[in-house]
Amino acid sequence: MTHSFPAPALAMVERMQAAAAANPAQAVAFQGSPGANSHRAACEAAPDCLPLPCFSFEDALDAVKDGRAASAIIPIENSQNGRVADIHFLLPESGLSIVGEHFMSISHALMALPHKDGSLGPFSVAYSHPQALGQSRHFLRERGIVPLSHADTAGAAAYVAEKGDPNVAAIAPVLAADLYGLAIVEDKVEDAHDNMTRFVILAREQLDPATLAGDTAMTTFVFEVKNIPAALYKAMGGFATNGVNMTKLESYQKGASFAATTFYADIIGAPGDPAVDRALEELAFHCKELRVLGSYRQARPRG
């Protein structure tokens, strides 16, 4: 879907896609235009990788499924603005496995084209990814700037450059201003300066939990409990009695019936640990469905 990228990003996208196509084993797919936060995350997590820009999260996951990339790096949650929309649906549906995680501090700038006299603003609207807009909502509200959604942060910067209207701004990483010829109006516009995003790394094959021996491991899974009273309470009991630390538990609705709730969970530990095995066995007893999405090395201590 190269045609979906804004024109100022196209040449870079095509060069990066060609490099990845020549060596898929080194390619890491990410969602967004060059200069997006996910681009930076890919380079931080795998410094020798060939970053492969993809227009949507689905495209990035498909690149791995189709063998055009060895892995994908996907943002899953932000410390300030919560989980990334749709990710909890996309991960289980993708058929891919989580093989790693990466945490990255996030900082954004307001950027735009200058007027002919060199001045900047005022701005009627600012484009960015919904996550970045949510992370900067107080900043925008105080200045009367209307937030408008775009597919990704760097793509928003490229779109503003393409649009050519100096009264329209973008919120994006500073790198995007350099790539697309925009001027920085104000840096660090996120409302909280301890802004952190957690990314997960996905591949076609799960890591063998035995390879994680000696390291602190995380395991991510999704499950749906039986539709009986106290099912969730009973399902969680095995983690308490076996001393397994659950660091995340979120619910989301699958389908339109509102009768079946699916849960997404992270625990510390991996299958092969007797306590984890017992807890997962007890969980499975109370579930209609249980699927482990992967075990991987912990990148940041919990608690």
What predicted TM-score, i.e. pTM, was given to this entire model? 0.92
Segment of 129-133, 222-226, 272-276 carrying the highest mean pLDDT: 272-276
> What is the rounded radius of gyration, in angstroms, for the C-alpha atoms of the chain?
21
Query: Token digits for 78?
Result: 């932000």
Give me the active site residues, please: 197, 199
Residues above pLDDT 90, as percent of the chain: 84
Residue 47 and residue 35 share a domain: yes
Q: Give the model's pLDDT for residue 258.
A: 66
Task: For residue 120, give its domain range.
Answer: 109-187
Residue 8 and residue 94 share a domain: yes
Domain assignment present for residue 227? The answer is yes
Element (H, E) at 186: strand 183-187
Which of 203, 230, 246 is a domain's end point?
203
pLDDT tens digits for range 197-209: 999 999 999 999 9
d(CA 73, CA 299): 14
| Residue among 219, 222, 220 nearest 235 (CA) | 222
Phi, psi of 41 (to 5 degrees): -60, -40
d(CA 41, CA 58): 18
Which of 155, 187, 219 is a domain's end point?
187
The residues near 189 (Cβ < 8 Å, ≥ 6 apart) are: 108, 109, 110, 136, 139, 171
**Weakest-pLDDT range from 7-11, 55-59, 210-214, 259-263:** 259-263
Q: What is the mean pLDDT of residues 264-276?
A: 97
Fill in the DSSP letter of residue 208.
P
Which of 203, 234, 257 is a domain's end point?
203
pLDDT tens digits for range 162-207: 999 999 999 999 999 999 999 999 999 999 888 899 999 999 999 9
Q: Give the model's pLDDT for residue 106.
A: 93
Residue 86 and residue 173 share a domain: no
Q: How confident is the model at residue 236 (pLDDT cuts 50, 70, 90)?
A: very high
Instruction: Work out the mean pLDDT of the chain and round it to a whole number.
Output: 93
Residue 57 and residue 15 share a domain: yes
Q: How confident is the model at residue 4 (pLDDT cuts 50, 70, 90)?
A: confident
Q: How confident is the model at residue 128 (pLDDT cuts 50, 70, 90)?
A: very high
Residue 51: which CATH number? 3.40.190.10
d(CA 161, CA 182): 7
pLDDT tens digits for range 23-54: 999 999 999 999 999 999 999 999 999 999 99
